[in-house]
Amino acid sequence: MADRLTPPAGGSAIDYERAFRVRSPDRPVIPYIEGDGIGPDIWAAARRVFDAAVAAAYGGRREVQWFEVFAGEKAIARYGAGMYLPDETLAAIRDWRVAIKGPLTTPVGGGFRSLNVTLRQELDLYCCIRPCRWYEGTPSPVRHPEKVDVVIFRENTEDVYAGIEWKEGTPEQGKVLAFLNGEMGTRIPADSGIGIKPISERNTKRLVAAAIQYALDKGRRSVTIVHKGNIMKYTEGAFREWGYEVAAEKFPGHTITEAHLSQGDRQLDPGERVVIKDRIADAMFQQILLRPDEYDVIALPNLNGDYLSDAVAAQVGGLGMAPGGNIGDTAAVFEATHGTAPKYAGLDKVNPGSLILSGAAMFEYIGWDDAKSAIQRGMESAIRDKIVTYDLARQMDGATEVSCSAFAEAIVQRL
Ligand code: NAD
């Protein structure tokens, strides 16, 4: 057994009332998980940017007290076989409230849930946020990527991701099938795999409420509820209903529905109110390509949220540029949205942009907006000067391809 982890002396805990109600002291302890594969490369690059951005923004008045905790391969090396996610790591995140992580290898083989899924479930991180905006100069497959500036709120705990399914041909599947076909009047072919899609009122309402609260706090104009309710009435359709309900119950006076804004051929001015609207998921995939500037904060159930997040990320430069955070009422974990890219591990080659922008989102979350803005400025200016890693360089004319660490250095010089 390894020695117990010791948090850095001189730091203190973030004041965490609930999701999106968080204030940081000047010297917060922030646990980090370096991650597997390219994790050490991108973490080293990102940390250099974080510390420089905080110094540039607050001139020594504020400083993060980084606290390394372990998961994945590094945890096994330290704690022994099977210890992918030690209790001590979970306890540290629970105690210090806000953490950041690199990608983790999902162990292949029976008995292991993804470490990321375990983290989300153990800490009840019900809200997955993905802020997606374009940084000038970033190569994009669309003509007007500058029109994309959205924050996706994806429900993170239920839907088909609840992991409730039965394999074709097993006794359990046989029992479920007998019940459904025998007692519930369904006609499911006997050779079917069967999965369950639970969507609950409580989990929907807390997710949509978080999205609306965020929109109000940040002066965003609208929250769009995306669903496939025309087909899945009692899950996706209910998500839509509960979304409108929670807007009316918790934010009367601060929200107005899109339907209420249209008075015949006259459009009312919403003023300061956040407009609540909804779109069917397939239509939304078209809309976000064709009219992205009509969307702002977007709230979705888990599966559609997964798909739309990657589609929007592609519009602004790909996964290397897409930040993410998993947020709950007692803790939040920010993370790079890509995986461990094992073939590039240790080569100092990949794009640390996703982790760096996840850090920017984390600083915004704890109320350090100036640090966030400094990071965004530095990143935008490095890309505008065409100093980029290989993934972006190969899509840009006249780019200077640099290493992972040199990209971080280029950002630091431009904070
Ligand atoms: P991946 O994201 O690791 O890599 C796919 C490809 O994307 C890479 O080969 C590389 O070409 C490119 N890429 C990824 N990150 C990049 C970066 N920062 N800069 C430049 N290019 C980048 O996906 P994968 O290969 O499917 O998964 C590898 C491992 O990562 C698996 O064990 C998987 O379970 C894990 N994973 C973890 C997370 C997480 O921790 N959140 C997410 C996804 C996958």
Picking from 368, 378, 357, 382, the residue whose alpha carbon sits closest to that of residue 100 is 357
Contacts of 227 (CB under 8 A, 6+ apart): 236, 237, 239, 240, 243, 278, 280, 281, 300, 301, 304
Q: Which residues of the chain have pLDDT under 50?
A: none
Contact indicator for 318, 342 with CB cutoff of 8 Å? no
Buried b / exposed e across 318-352, counting CB within 10 Å, b at 16+? bbbbbbbbbbbbebbbbbbbbbbbeebeeebbbbb
Q: In this structure, what are the phi and psi dihedrals at residue 82, rounded to the nearest 5 degrees? A: 85, -10
* pLDDT, position 111: 55
Contact indicator for 157, 168 with CB cutoff of 8 Å? no
Ligand 1 atom closest to Cα of residue 115: 40
Hey, what amino acid is at 239? F
Ligand 1: residue whose CA is nearest its atom 40: 103
User: CB count, 10 Å around CB of 189?
Assistant: 8
* DSSP codes joined into one string, 12-52: B--EEEETTEEE--SSBEEEEE--STTHHHHHHHHHHHHHH
Give me ligand 1 centre to Cα 187, in Å.
Answer: 40
Q: Which residue pairs from 282-286 have beta carbons closer than 8 angstroms and sit at least 24 positions apart in sequence?
A: 282/228, 284/224, 284/226, 284/308, 285/311
Contact indicator for 314, 323 with CB cutoff of 8 Å? no
d(CA 166, CA 175): 10
Question: Is ligand 1 within 6 A of the CB of residue 350?
Answer: yes
Question: Is ligand 1 within 6 A of the CB of residue 104?
Answer: yes
Question: Is ligand 1 within 6 A of the CB of residue 358?
Answer: no
* pLDDT, position 115: 85
Tokens of 132: 């997606």
Give me ligand 1 centre to Cα 74, in Å.
Answer: 18
User: CB count, 10 Å around CB of 364?
Assistant: 18
Sign of CA dihedral 387, 407, 150, 217: negative
* pLDDT, position 249: 98
Ligand 1 atom closest to Cα of residue 104: 40
d(CA 224, CA 208): 10
> Percent helix, strand, coil in the chain (nearest 5)?
45, 20, 40
d(CA 193, CA 188): 10
Picking from 51, 52, 60, 15, the residue whose alpha carbon sits closest to that of residue 32 is 51
Contacts of 250 (CB under 8 A, 6+ apart): 209, 212
Sign of CA dihedral 380, 384, 388, 391: positive
Furthest-apart CA atoms within the chain: distance in Å = 71
**Which residues form the catalytic set?**
161, 228, 282, 306
Give me ligand 1 centre to Cα 293, in Å.
Answer: 29
Question: Is ligand 1 within 6 A of the CB of residue 351?
Answer: yes
Tokens of 266: 């006259």
- Which ranges of 368-403 would DSSP assign to H, the alpha helix? 369-384, 390-393
Strands 262-263 and 255-257: unpaired
Hey, what amino acid is at 259? A
Question: Is ligand 1 within 6 A of the CB of residue 339?
Answer: yes
| Overall size of the chain counted in residues | 415
d(CA 25, CA 6): 20
Picking from 312, 23, 125, the residue whose alpha carbon sits closest to that of residue 115 is 125
Contact indicator for 145, 389 with CB cutoff of 8 Å? no
* pLDDT, position 112: 59
